[in-house]
């Protein structure tokens, strides 16, 4: 198996690839150009210590490992053999690495590891990832003017994302699996997450901004229960025009980027808000807070997208805690303790609804007038509009949405419950 490599002076070099060997492909000049076909077998490593260019007639099938120590340019075909799970592309240099080209580059696994500066990777190409992206060191700057993109396909994941290595710019995600966008800005990894969606063809995108959204989306234009909107940061989360699915959105807070005035009582007053394009105002999407992880999620799936941030909202109308008490542990093992989801005193408010969702935002329980006729949650999927009805649910964390009328006011309570289903 051979590969044709030509340097800028036209010198032809033939590199023979031998499985289970490490081969260093270099030329005597400062650029390595591929004009033929390169097939890298599993357990084979190819390294280039000069700028690399894959010409418009060049093709690379990477089923082994290829290492780039300087800039990269692709005008041809760069991919891996379909069904193969061993291809790795390593970008590891000691200076700025420009990642450019007129044709998209498709990888199975990819590694970013460059500590030469805070922003050592300038992406001006379309990168498609099918396996895993390893963010070891160095921030990947997506060039907006070049219309570059980084797309995680159906089963793609990432690891080791941190303040030292993430994507500064738009990240796209295709498919119906839950995903955390590895995004950030100015040295802060500030992810956004979506739950599993409904269709394999769904396409979502997200970008983080460390800016005041008030300049473009006036904070004084907001619904009545929103008191203070985040003035330092916001997220853009969009769905492709052809998409129709709904997802739960999870954001987080960071003491270095999130205004302290929003965090005085996050469990009761912190919500996710969205700029509604049609209404031209900020609307409340609700919030289920996880204090330990410093995360907040929308209580239910959303169908409208755009600009999101955090906000402090007015607390629900005061009422005595004894009016309703939620016990968030369910252990349906017939021992007489927490055998079902107990909502103490809920029968005092017959005009109520209870909904329970799994971690992917799929409704697993739905009822009205909870606990009025044995209609309680016992760890089984049940309700008017649920999937896999009467199916025993796996142990894990779920979240609930309870609504009921109290003295002329509609009260909404959200939170987590833990199910231990033997």
Q: Which residues of 312-341 are buried (b: 16+ CB within 10 A; e: fewer)?
A: bbeeeeeeeeeebeeebebbbeeeeebeeb
Q: What is the mean pLDDT of residues 326-350?
A: 86
Supply the pLDDT for residue 386: 53
Band (393; pLDDT cuts 50, 70, 90): very high
Cα gap 287→177, rounded to integer Å = 22
Which conformational region is residue 147 in: left (phi greater than 0), alpha (psi within -120 to 50 degrees), or beta? Answer: left
* Domain map (residue ranges) of the chain: 2-313, 321-419
Which residues, 6+ apart, have CB-to-CB distance to 163 below 8 Å? Answer: 184, 187, 188, 189
- Phi (first) and psi of residue 269, to 5 degrees: -125, -5
Rounded to whole angstroms, how far apart are CA atoms 217 and 211?
12
The residues, any chain, with a CB within 8 Å of residue 361's CB and separated by 6 or more, are 195, 196, 246, 247, 248, 300, 301
Q: Are 5 and 29 in contact (CB under 8 A)?
A: no
pLDDT band at 320; cut points 50, 70, 90: low
The values of phi and psi at residue 346, to 5°, are -65, -25
Measured CA to CA, the distance from residue 141 to residue 143 in angstroms comes to: 6
17 or 69: which leads in pLDDT: 69
Considering only 136-150, 174-188, 354-368, which range has the smallest mean pLDDT? 354-368
Q: Express each pLDDT in 170-196 by its tens digit.
A: 999 999 999 999 999 999 999 999 999
Q: Which fold has domain 321-419?
A: Immunoglobulin-like (2.60.40)
Mean model confidence pLDDT for the chain: 88
| 3-class secondary-structure state, position 82 | coil
3-class secondary-structure state, position 322: helix
Q: Write the DSSP symbol of residue 317.
A: P
Q: Is-contact 210 187, C-beta < 8 A?
A: no
C-alpha to C-alpha distance for 178 and 241, rounded to whole angstroms: 19
Report yes or no: 401 and 368 within 8 Å, Cβ to Cβ: no
CB 61 within 8 A of CB 40: yes
pLDDT at 348 over 80: yes
User: Is residue 335 scored above 90 in pLDDT?
Assistant: no
Q: Look at residues 168, 192, 154 and name the one whose alpha carbon lies nearest to residue 112.
A: 168
Q: Which of 291, 202, 307, 209 is nearest to 249 (CA)?
A: 307
CB 54 within 8 A of CB 32: no
Question: Is 160:187 a contact under the CB 8 Å cutoff?
Answer: no
pTM given for the model: 0.77
**The two three-digit tokens of residue 149, written as one number:** 């993109």
pLDDT tens digit sequence for 216-268: 999 999 988 899 999 999 999 999 877 677 899 999 999 999 999 999 999 98
What does the alpha-carbon distance between residue 99 and residue 26 come to, in Å, rounded to a whole number?
A: 19
pLDDT band at 73 (very low <50, low <70, confident <90, very high): very high
Residue 329 has pLDDT above 90, yes or no: no
Q: How far apart are CA 112 and CA 110, in angstroms?
A: 7
φ, ψ of residue 214 in degrees (nearest 5): -60, -25
- Band of residue 4 on the pLDDT scale cut at 50, 70, 90: very low
């Amino acid at each position: 198996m051979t590969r044709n490599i030509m340097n800028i002076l036209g010198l032809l070099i033939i590199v023979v690839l031998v499985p289970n060997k490490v081969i260093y492909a270099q030329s005597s000049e400062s650029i390595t150009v591929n004009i033929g076909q390169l097939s890298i077998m599993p357990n084979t490593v190819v390294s280039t210590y000069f700028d690399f260019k894959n010409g418009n007639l060049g093709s690379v099938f990477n089923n082994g490992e290829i290492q780039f120590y300087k800039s990269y340019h692709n005008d041809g075909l760069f991919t891996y053999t379909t069904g193969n799970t061993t291809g790795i592309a390593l970008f590891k240099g000691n200076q700025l690495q420009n990642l450019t080209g007129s044709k998209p580059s498709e990888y199975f696994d990819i590694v970013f590891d460059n500590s030469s500066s805070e922003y050592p990777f300038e992406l001006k190409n379309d990168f498609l990832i099918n396996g895993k992206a390893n963010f070891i060191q160095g921030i990947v700057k997506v060039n907006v003017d070049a219309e570059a993109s980084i797309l995680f396909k159906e089963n793609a994941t990432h690891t080791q994302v941190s303040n030292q290595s993430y994507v500064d710019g738009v990240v796209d995600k295709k498919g119906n699996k839950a995903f955390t966008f590895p995004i950030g800005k100015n040295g802060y990894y500030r992810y956004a997450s979506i739950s599993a969606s409904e269709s394999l063809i769904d396409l979502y995108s997200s970008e983080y901004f460390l800016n005041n959204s008030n300049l473009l989306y006036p904070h004084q234009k907001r619904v009545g229960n929103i008191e203070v909107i985040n003035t330092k940061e916001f997220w853009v989360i969009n769905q492709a025009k052809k998409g129709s699915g709904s997802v739960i959105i999870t954001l987080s807070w960071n003491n270095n980027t999130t205004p302290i005035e929003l965090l005085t009582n996050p469990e009761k007053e912190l919500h996710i808000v969205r700029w509604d394009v049609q209404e031209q105002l900020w609307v409340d999407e609700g919030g289920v807070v996880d204090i330990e992880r410093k995360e907040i999620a929308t209580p239910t799936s959303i169908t409208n997208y755009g600009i999101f941030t955090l906000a402090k909202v007015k607390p629900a109308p005061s009422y005595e805690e004894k009016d309703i008490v939620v016990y968030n542990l369910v252990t349906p093992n017939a021992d007489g303790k927490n055998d079902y989801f107990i909502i103490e005193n809920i029968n005092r408010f017959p005009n109520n609804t209870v909904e329970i969702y799994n971690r992917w935002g799929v409704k697993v329980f739905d009822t009205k007038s909870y606990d009025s006729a044995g209609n309680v949650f016992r760890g089984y999927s049940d309700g008017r509009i649920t999937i896999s009805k009467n199916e025993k649910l796996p142990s894990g964390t779920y979240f609930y949405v309870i609504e009921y009328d109290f003295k002329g006011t509609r009260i909404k309570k959200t939170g987590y419950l833990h199910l231990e289903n033997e």
